[in-house]
Amino acid sequence: MAIDRRLGGMRKLGEHIRQYWVIYLALVSVYLAGVIFGAVGVGALNTGETQELSGFLDKLLAGQPTTLDTNFLIQLAREQFIIMAGIWLLGLTVIGTPLIFLIVFTRGFVFGFTLSFIIGMKGLWGLGLVLISILIPALAGIPFLLLGAGLATIFSMMLLKGKQVGESLRREFMYYSVATVLVSLGAVFVGVSQGYFSILGVRFFNL
């Protein structure tokens, strides 16, 4: 029975993505553009900026918890919740779509910049750290970000077109909110897991 419910949920998700594939393709493209611009942005740094960021990275790694810290995990969960809640709120406005795409682009930019900078500063050790501490949890978290952004974009466009009114709008709002809660729970879970992976990476590579 539980397996049937999961399969039913996966089918509904697949149908949803097929129905709005243009929106999700646009979001994926914006995220990838952010990653590329972030990676290229590292090369645009001058020597002083590179040294300053390198020093900040060393301090950040030195201050990274080597054991599970509840406050650290709560902070990661809070950050993910704030991002997803912000996207949900933007979806409730008729002008939220550009800002939603901006958030997606910014997240991609930060991801690409971080990957490129750490690998450039730490070499092969940095590559290992990136793979364990950043890339693995990020690959799990990106679908939740894009799905949450897609849901918000669809609802925002629905409001803009004015096709849903009265009872119909209330029903769509409930669907949107419940779906966003589920996606947000997944994003928060991945955010917390990133804490475990970051501790593992720092301890394993002794950075």
Domain positions in the chain: 2-205
Contact of 85 with 8, CB cutoff 8 Å = no
Q: Is the pLDDT of residue 59 over 80?
A: no
What's the predicted TM-score (pTM) here? 0.83
Average pLDDT score over the chain:
80
How far is the C-alpha of 91 from the C-alpha of 98, rounded, in Å?
Answer: 10
Specify the pLDDT at position 26.
96
Q: Is the pLDDT of residue 83 over 70?
A: yes
List helix spans (H) across the chain: 2-19, 21-43, 47-62, 70-91, 96-129, 136-161, 166-205
Q: Is the pLDDT of residue 17 over 50?
A: yes
How would residue 23 be classed by pLDDT, with cut points 50, 70 and 90? very high
Q: Is the pLDDT of residue 93 over 90?
A: no
